[in-house]
C-alpha cells in the first residue's frame, strides 16, 4: 500500500511536469563499460537506459553529450550540460557545490591488481605500492585522504588504468566493485579483485544549485522515484549486471559476486557474503575497457 502511494505521488508530480517539456542535456564519458560506452557508433549502457527511461517518464527529450570525464564537472558548472550520468558519487564536497537526486546506484570502492599478484590483498596492503586512479574521480579523493596516503604512489590517468595494471606498470587500481567484476569477466585482462570493498558509494545525478537546476532536479528525482517503485530501475540493473544495484544491499541479497572462475586475491579480512553469479553483460568492443570515472 505504501509503495503504491509513493508511486502514485511520483506519477502525479511527473504529469504536472510534462506540461513544460524540455531538453535534458546529459554529460557522460562514453568510456565506462557497462555504464556508458559506444558500440557500432551507438551510445549505450546502464546510464543510457536509465536516462532514457527518465525522459520517457517526464516527457522530456534527453540529449547525451560525451566528453572526457575530467571535463564533465566544468561543463555542468558552465551550463553546457544539465547533469552528469557517469556514476557520480555523492560526497560532502560535491553536495556543497551541486544539488543531487536520490541515489540510484549503491556500490563500494574496490582494489584490483594483476592476476597472481598476491602481495596486494586489499586497501590496507597498498603502502609502498603504485596505485592508478582516474583523474578527478571519487577514487582519487578516497586514496589521497587515506591515513597512509603518503606511503602510496598515486598515479592519475584519463582511462586505461586497467591496462596499466595488467601490464604491470602499476601495482593496482581502484574503481567501483560492480565495474571491477564486469571488467574481469568481460575484458580478458589478467586481473583479480584484491580484498573486500573499502568504502560505501552512493551514486546520483548532480544538478546546478540555481533555480532552474533545482527545478530540473525535482522533476528527474520524481521520475527516478517512480522508476524505482514500478521496478524499472531493477529491470535495467538486472539487464546489465544480473543483480539489483539500485537499492542498498542487505546482507548478500544485493551483492555483486564474481562468477565461478573469476580471480579474487586472498584478503586479510573476511570477504562479504556472496550472491549468485551475475549474468554477464554484453562485452566491451574490441580495444575498449572500462575506466573508473566517478
Cα 273 to Cα 174, 239, 257: the distances in Å are: 21, 22, 9
Question: Could you tell me if residue 92 is inside a domain?
Answer: yes
- Assess whether 195 and 224 both reside in one domain: no
Q: What is the CATH number of the domain that holds 189?
A: 3.40.190.10
Question: Could you tell me if residue 114 is inside a domain?
Answer: yes
- Assess whether 222 and 149 both reside in one domain: no
- Assess whether 89 and 223 both reside in one domain: yes
Question: Could you tell me if residue 38 is inside a domain?
Answer: yes
- Assess whether 213 and 95 both reside in one domain: yes
Question: Could you tell me if residue 255 is inside a domain?
Answer: no
How many independent structural domains does the chain possess?
Answer: 2
Q: Are 284 and 186 in contact (CB under 8 A)?
A: yes
Three-state secondary structure call for residue 58: helix
- Assess whether 92 and 208 both reside in one domain: yes
pLDDT at position 249: 64
Contacts of range 155-161, beta carbons closer than 8 Å, 24 or more positions apart: 155/130, 155/131, 156/132, 157/132, 157/133, 157/291, 158/68, 158/69, 158/70, 158/134, 158/291, 159/31, 159/134, 159/291, 160/289, 160/291, 161/132, 161/133, 161/134, 161/291, 161/292
Start-to-end C-alpha separation, the chain = 36
Residue where a domain stops, chosen among 181, 200, 219: 200
- Assess whether 51 and 82 both reside in one domain: yes
CA-to-CA distance for 269 and 264, rounded, in angstroms?
A: 13
Q: Are 121 and 267 in contact (CB under 8 A)?
A: yes
Question: Could you tell me if residue 224 is inside a domain?
Answer: yes
- Assess whether 30 and 64 both reside in one domain: yes
Q: How does pLDDT run along the chain (294 residues), one tens digit per residue?
A: 444 444 444 444 444 444 468 999 999 999 888 899 999 999 999 999 999 999 999 999 999 999 999 899 999 999 999 999 999 999 999 999 999 999 999 999 999 999 999 999 999 999 999 999 999 898 999 999 999 999 999 999 988 999 999 999 999 999 999 889 888 988 899 999 999 999 889 999 999 999 999 999 999 999 999 999 999 999 999 999 988 999 986 544 334 444 444 455 543 333 332 232 333 344 444 333 343 346
Q: At what angle do helices 46-58 and 211-229 cross, to 10 degrees?
A: 100
Cα 293 to chain centroid, rounded: 7
- Assess whether 100 and 211 both reside in one domain: yes
- Assess whether 112 and 182 both reside in one domain: yes
pLDDT at position 159: 82
Non-local CB neighbours of 231 within 8 Å, separated by 6+ positions = none
Range of the domain at 187: 107-200
Question: Could you tell me if residue 129 is inside a domain?
Answer: yes
- Assess whether 218 and 96 both reside in one domain: yes
pLDDT at position 294: 64
Where are the strands (E) in 58-152, listed by range?
61-66, 83-84, 88-89, 98-100, 105-114, 130-134
- Assess whether 155 and 76 both reside in one domain: no
Question: Could you tell me if residue 66 is inside a domain?
Answer: yes
Length of the chain: 294
CA-to-CA distance for 180 and 125, rounded, in angstroms?
A: 18
Question: Could you tell me if residue 140 is inside a domain?
Answer: yes
Amino acid at each position: 500500500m505504501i509503495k503504491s502511494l509513493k508511486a502514485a505521488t511520483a506519477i502525479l508530480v511527473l504529469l504536472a511536469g510534462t506540461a513544460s517539456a524540455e531538453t535534458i542535456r546529459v554529460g557522460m564519458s562514453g568510456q565506462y563499460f557497462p555504464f556508458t560506452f559506444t558500440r557500432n557508433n551507438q551510445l549505450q549502457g546502464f546510464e543510457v537506459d536509465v536516462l532514457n527511461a527518465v525522459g520517457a517518464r517526464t516527457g522530456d527529450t534527453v540529449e547525451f553529450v560525451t566528453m572526457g570525464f575530467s571535463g564533465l564537472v566544468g561543463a555542468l558548472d558552465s551550463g553546457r550540460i544539465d547533469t552528469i550520468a557517469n556514476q557520480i558519487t555523492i560526497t560532502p564536497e560535491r553536495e556543497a557545490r551541486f544539488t543531487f537526486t536520490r541515489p540510484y546506484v549503491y556500490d563500494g570502492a574496490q582494489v584490483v591488481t594483476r592476476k597472481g599478484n598476491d602481495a596486494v590483498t586489499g586497501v590496507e596492503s597498498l603502502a609502498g605500492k603504485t596505485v592508478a586512479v582516474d583523474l578527478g574521480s571519487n577514487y582519487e579523493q578516497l586514496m589521497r585522504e587515506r591515513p597512509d596516503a603518503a606511503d602510496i604512489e598515486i598515479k592519475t590517468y584519463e582511462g586505461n588504468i586497467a591496462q596499466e595494471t595488467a601490464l604491470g606498470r602499476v601495482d593496482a587500481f581502484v574503481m567501483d566493485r560492480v565495474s571491477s567484476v564486469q571488467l574481469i569477466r568481460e575484458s580478458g585482462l589478467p586481473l583479480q579483485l584484491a580484498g573486500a570493498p573499502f568504502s560505501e558509494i552512493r551514486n546520483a545525478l548532480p544538478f546546478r544549485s540555481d533555480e532552474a537546476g533545482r527545478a530540473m532536479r525535482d522533476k528527474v528525482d520524481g521520475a527516478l522515484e517512480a522508476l524505482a517503485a514500478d521496478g524499472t530501475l531493477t529491470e535495467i540493473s538486472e539487464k546489465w549486471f544480473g543483480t539489483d544495484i539500485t537499492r542498498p544491499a542487505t546482507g548478500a541479497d544485493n551483492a555483486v559476486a564474481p562468477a565461478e572462475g573469476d580471480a579474487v586475491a586472498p584478503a586479510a579480512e573476511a570477504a562479504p557474503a556472496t550472491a549468485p553469479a551475475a549474468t554477464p553483460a554484453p562485452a566491451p568492443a574490441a580495444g575498449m575497457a572500462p575506466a573508473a570515472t566517478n
